[in-house]
Amino acid sequence: MFADPYRPLDYGWNFQDFYNSFTSALGGHVKYGLIPYVSKRIQYANSQFSIGDIPPVVSNVTWLAYGHRVPIIVTANVDDETLAEFNLFFKTDNSGWKRIAMKNTSKNHFTTAIGPWVEKAKRISFYFEATDKNGNKTREPLKSEYVAEFNQIELPLCINEVMTSNSTTYPDEFGYYSDWIELYNFGKTPISLNGMTITDTLGKPAKSILPNIIINPGEFKLLWADGQPENGENHLPFKLNKQSEEIGLFALTSNGYKLVDGFRFGSIDKNASFGYYPDGLGLPQILLSPTPGLSNVLTTKRFEMVLPQIITYPNPFSDRLTISLSYQPAYDYTITIISSQGRIIAKEDIKKGTYTKYEWQPNGIPSGIYLIYITLHGKQDLVIQPQKVIFDKKSN
């Protein structure tokens, strides 16, 4: 005490002031006596134990955005004992606000999917609105919006068609019927697949590195999703799930992997496919008449008519192959010869009733398995069951 230089500086306070401070304010910034202050704090603390009807509380907002053709998965938590509605409002760069209801997947946890969109968009803005049964409403965020930006690169290359359950439609070069994926260049210049990947898990873009090959304008490239990459560069290390699946084509850039094209889809029937119609445009849909390596066709039902069969001889052949039909159709038709990698080798348009046989003499192509496609051009294009032929090139 004797060593404290501030002890004698009492600033004019005396002992009576000290005793008065227990019950009375001393002025200035001291607005309460000690006992009234503690009493007030107890009263205020006790009032907080009485829970009123507060508005819903929205928290833990998350989203996953890849590209405009892939639905955005949005999730959020809501705490309220009498929640009546929980809606999400969203818009693209050029559209007005739209509303969609959030779905309760578990206690207090909600989710929904927005999109996909036909029009290209760079970002999606959205906010939430939660309302309880007493009309109390919460907007999250309070004034602004969340913004989901697509990590996408503009390239005229797409996943044009996929098949998740192939039993009779189209065999690979070994004669096996496996899942397949068709890439399509809808641009005007060749595109290299160098540095690109394909995956059935959008969150893992580097699942399968694509071969360094060129896809020319208007050309299709077939990949086999059979889980057997050892069978060749066009065989992928994963299979597709026919119940539900997502698929993405990515390009590696200086800023990491960016989506070139991709989509999610649900259950697809056996020997049906899922893809764009017309090629590379619009939103992908169920295609009941698959066309691997060819332009997609749209039908609303499976064709029950008996189509002619393709007849080829000799098979195997080494010099010349004769191609005909079991009967002449009443339509024009096109004969297309495709390599096992999906490359078009030859194509011939034939008018109805012109002639019954077409002779193909390969020139400058290697030995291997080739597929013969014939497309009938009626009110709708009909693809006849392809025929596999073996070309055994003569040695010099």
Average pLDDT over residues 266-292: 88
Does 395 have pLDDT greater than 70?
Answer: no
pLDDT at 239: 93
Model confidence at 386, in pLDDT bands (50, 70, 90)?
confident
pLDDT at 129: 97
Does 303 have pLDDT greater than 50?
Answer: no
Q: Please indicate whether the domains covering 57-149 and 310-391 agree at the CATH topology level.
A: yes
φ, ψ for residue 52, nearest 5 deg: -90, -175
Strands 368-377 and 387-391: antiparallel
| Closest by CA position to 295, among listed 334, 264, 350 | 334
pLDDT at 305: 46
* 52 or 310, higher pLDDT: 310
Do residues 152 and 312 lie in contact, with contact meaning Cβ atoms separated by under 8 Å? no
Two tokens, residue 326: 């079991």
Q: Which CATH architecture has domain 57-149?
A: Sandwich (2.60)
Does 5 have pLDDT greater than 90?
Answer: no
Average pLDDT over residues 353-361: 79
Rounded distance, CA 119 to CA 121, Å? 6
pLDDT at 300: 57
| Closest by CA position to 155, among listed 90, 217, 93 | 217
Does 86 have pLDDT greater than 90?
Answer: yes
* 303 or 206, higher pLDDT: 206
Looking at CATH, the fold of the domain delimited by 310-391 is given as Immunoglobulin-like (2.60.40)
Average pLDDT over residues 197-207: 93
B/e letters for 235-272, b = 16+ CB within 10 Å, e = fewer, are bbebbbebeebbbbbbbeeeeebbbbbbbbbeebeebb
Two tokens, residue 114: 């927005």
Domain boundaries in the chain? 15-47, 57-149, 157-287, 310-391
Identify the weakest region by mean pLDDT among 155-159, 306-310, 378-382.
378-382
Rounded distance, CA 77 to CA 298, Å? 41
Average pLDDT over residues 39-50: 86
How long, in residues, is the chain?
A: 396
* Residues ≥6 apart with Cβ < 8 Å to 74: 61, 62, 63, 88, 102, 111, 112, 113, 114, 126
Does 228 have pLDDT greater than 90?
Answer: yes
Identify the weakest region by mean pLDDT among 143-157, 225-239, 370-384.
370-384
Does 170 have pLDDT greater than 60?
Answer: yes
Does 304 have pLDDT greater than 70?
Answer: no
Mean pLDDT of the chain: 88
Model confidence at 252, in pLDDT bands (50, 70, 90)?
very high
Average pLDDT over residues 174-197: 93
Does 379 have pLDDT greater than 70?
Answer: no
Give residue-wise pLDDT tens across range 103-122: 999 889 999 999 888 888 88
Does 130 have pLDDT greater than 70?
Answer: yes
